[in-house]
């Protein structure tokens, strides 16, 4: 599965209206009626990055960018509260987060992965993938990247 920068609905307006590189990310509903609840950027290089490699919306940049290198999707795929980063500083930070933040992440994970109607848009195949397939990929049983 290939995914891009995760955008929550209020963050889509950071990009030009109607940009064809804005794709769905998380979806909810029963196929074929799946409603996007978040979005992603399908480009090699973020269109908001200036030629001199500065973020042109730094003060308003998406939560995904603010959270980097903590990856919400990877945390959800792990089925819990865990970061994939090899950075020890981040691991130390993660271990000292307040309990309510940990609980909030766990709640998001539970709701996303245990809902029968949660989907992710795969940029590679341009298709919705059901969360049961995403779990298989996360556990190494799938064919995803
Ligand atoms: S920090 Fe700014 S330039 Fe970098 S990916 Fe996020 S929005 Fe794009």
Say yes or no: CB of residue 5 within 6 Å of ligand 1. yes
7 lines ligand 1 (CB under 6 A): no
Name the residue with the closest Cα to ligand 1, atom 6.
65
pTM: 0.75
Residue 62 Cβ inside 6 Å of ligand 1? The answer reads yes
For the stretch 49-97, pLDDT in tens is 999 999 999 999 998 888 777 666 666 555 444 555 666 776 666 666 6
Query: Domain locations in the chain?
Result: 5-138
Ligand 1 center–CA 92 separation, angstroms: 25
What mean pLDDT do residues 5-17 have? 93
- Whether residue 34 contacts residue 27, with contact meaning beta carbons closer than 8 Å, is answered with yes
Cα Rg, the chain, nearest whole Å? 16
Average pLDDT score over residue span 114-135: 83
Cis peptide preceding 32, ω within 30 of 0:
yes
Evaluate: CB of 12 within 6 angstroms of ligand 1: no
């Amino acid at each position: 599965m290939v995914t891009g920068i995760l955008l929550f609905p209020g963050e889509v307006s950071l990009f030009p209206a109607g940009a064809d590189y804005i794709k769905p990310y998380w979806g909810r509903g029963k196929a074929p009626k799946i409603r996007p609840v978040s979005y992603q950027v399908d480009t090699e290089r973020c269109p908001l990055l200036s030629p001199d490699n500065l973020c042109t919306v730094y003060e308003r940049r998406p939560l995904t960018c603010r959270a980097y290198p903590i990856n919400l999707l990877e945390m959800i795929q792990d089925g819990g509260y865990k970061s994939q980063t090899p950075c020890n500083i981040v691991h130390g930070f993660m271990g000292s987060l307040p309990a309510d933040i940990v609980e909030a992440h766990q709640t998001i994970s539970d709701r996303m992965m245990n809902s029968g109607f949660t989907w992710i848009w795969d940029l590679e195949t341009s298709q919705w993938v059901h969360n049961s397939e995403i779990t298989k990929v996360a556990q190494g049983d799938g064919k995803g990247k």
